[in-house]
Amino acid sequence: MRFALYMGYRLATALPVIFGIMVLNFLLIHLAPGDAASVLAGESGAATPEYMDALRHKFGLDQSIGMQFVTYVSNMAHFNLGYSYRNDADVSSLILERLGPTSLLMLTAFGTAVALGIILGLIAATGRNSWRDNIISLISLVAYATPGFWLGLMMIVIFSIGLGWLPTSGFDTVGAGHEGWAEVWDVGRHLVMPAVSLALFYLALYARLMRSSVLEQTGMDYVTTARAKGQTERRIMTGHVLRNALLPIVTIAGVQAGNLIGGSIVVETVFGWPGIGALAFNALQSRDLNLLLAIFFMSACLIVIINLAVDVIYVMLDPRMEI
Amino acid sequence: MNKISRRTALALPLGLAASSSTIFNSLAKADQPVRGGTMVMIVQPEPSTLAHYAVTAGNIPPIATQIYEGLVTYDWDQNPQPNLATSWETAPDGKSIIFKLREGVVFHNGKPFTSADVQFSFMEILKKYHPFAPLLLAELTGVDTPDEKTAVLLLANPAPYLMKALAGRDLPIMCKSVFEGTQILQNPSANKPIGTGPFKFGQWDRGQFVRLDRNEKYWKPGLPYLNHIIARFIPDAATRSAALETGEAHFAGYSAVNYADLARMKTNPMLDTTMKGYEMTPALSVLELNAKHPPLDKKEVRQAIAYAIDRKVILRDVMYGYGKPATGPLSSLFKTVGFYTDDVRKYDVPDRLDIANKLLDGAGLLRGANGMRFGMHLEVNSFGEQWLRQAEYLKQALAIVGIDLTLRSEDTATWLRRVYTDYDYDINEPFLSQGVDPVYGLNKQYLTSQIRKGVTFVNDSFYANPEFDGILNEAMREPDHDKRAVLYKKAQQILAEDCPLVWLIDVQYVSVFNRKLHDHTTGPLGTQQAFERAWLET
* Contact list, B433 vs chain A (CB under 8 Å): 45
pLDDT band at B482 (very low <50, low <70, confident <90, very high): very high
DSSP string computed for B305-330? HHHH--HHHHHHHTSTT-SEE--SSS
Quick one: what percent of chain B has pLDDT higher than 90?
A: 64
Residue B14 has pLDDT above 60, yes or no: no
Least Cα separation, residue B303 to chain A (angstroms): 26
Amino acid (1-letter code) at residue B370: N
Q: What is the mean pLDDT of residues B83-105?
A: 93
- Note whether B413 contacts A287, CB cutoff 8 Å: yes
Is this structure's pTM higher than 0.95?
no
Show which of residues 264-293 on chain B sit within 8 Å of chain A, judged by CB atoms.
none
Q: Find out whether A51 and B128 touch, Cβ atoms under 8 Å.
A: no
Return the DSSP state at B381.
P
CB count in 10 Å sphere of residue A87: 23
The pLDDT value recorded for residue A323 is 61
DSSP string computed for B92-130? TTSSEEEEEEPTT-B-TTSPBP-HHHHHHIIIIIIHHH-
Of A63, A58, A269, the C-alpha closest to B184 is: A58
pLDDT tens for each residue of B234-282: 888 888 999 999 999 999 998 788 888 888 888 999 999 999 999 998 9
CB count in 10 Å sphere of residue A262: 12
- By the 10 Å C-beta count (0-12 exposed, 13-18 middle, 19+ buried), B298 is classed as middle
pLDDT tens for each residue of B153-211: 999 999 988 998 999 999 999 999 999 988 887 788 888 999 999 999 999 988 889 99
Residue of chain A with shortest Cα separation from B432: A45
Residue B461 has pLDDT above 80, yes or no: yes
Beta-bridged to residue B210, according to DSSP, are B204, B231
Q: Which of B49, B418, B452 sits opposite A33 (nearest CB)?
A: B418
- Note whether A88 contacts B190, CB cutoff 8 Å: yes
The pLDDT value recorded for residue A1 is 66
The pLDDT value recorded for residue B30 is 55
Least Cα separation, residue A117 to chain B (angstroms): 29
What does the alpha-carbon distance between residue A232 and residue B54 come to, in Å, rounded to a whole number? 74
Residue that wins the pLDDT comparison between B476 and A4: B476
The pLDDT value recorded for residue B298 is 93
Residue of chain B with shortest Cα separation from A39: B413
Of A298, A304, A303, the C-alpha closest to A11 is: A304
Show which of residues 35-74 on chain B sit within 8 Å of chain A, judged by CB atoms.
38, 40, 45-46, 48-49, 51, 55-58
* Contact list, B452 vs chain A (CB under 8 Å): 48-49
Residue that wins the pLDDT comparison between B28 and B232: B232
The pLDDT value recorded for residue A287 is 82
Amino acid (1-letter code) at residue B139: E
- Note whether A34 contacts B412, CB cutoff 8 Å: yes
- Note whether A35 contacts B38, CB cutoff 8 Å: no
* Contact list, A183 vs chain B (CB under 8 Å): none
Residue of chain B with shortest Cα separation from A277: B207
Residues of chain A where predicted confidence (pLDDT) is lower than 50: none
Measure the CA angle with vertex B490, ends B484 and B491; round to 5°: 85
Residue that wins the pLDDT comparison between A48 and B493: B493
Count of CB pairs separated by less than 8 Å, A with B: 181
Q: What is the mean pLDDT of residues B115-133?
A: 90
Chosen for mutation from A29, A30, A35, A48 (greatest number of chain B CBs closer than 10 Å) is A48
Return the DSSP state at B371.
S
Phi, psi of B155 (to 5 degrees): -120, 145
pLDDT tens for each residue of A226-243: 888 888 878 888 777 888
pLDDT tens for each residue of B17-75: 444 444 444 444 557 888 989 999 999 888 888 988 888 778 889 999 999 999 999 99
Phi, psi of B291 (to 5 degrees): -70, -10
- Note whether A43 contacts B55, CB cutoff 8 Å: yes
- Note whether B242 contacts A156, CB cutoff 8 Å: yes
- Note whether B48 contacts A40, CB cutoff 8 Å: yes
Residues 6 or more apart whose Cβ sits within 8 Å of residue A70: none
Work out the mean pLDDT of chain B and round it to a whole number: 88
Residues 6 or more apart whose Cβ sits within 8 Å of residue A217: A223, A240, A241, A244, A245
Q: Which of A43, A98, A278 sits opposite B235 (nearest CB)?
A: A278
Which ranges constitute the DSSP H helices of chain A?
Answer: 2-31, 36-44, 49-59, 65-77, 91-126, 131-145, 148-155, 180-218, 221-228, 233-236, 242-270, 276-285, 289-317
For the question of an ipTM over 0.95, the answer is no
Show which of residues 243-262 on chain B sit within 8 Å of chain A, judged by CB atoms.
243, 245-246, 248
- Note whether A46 contacts B190, CB cutoff 8 Å: no
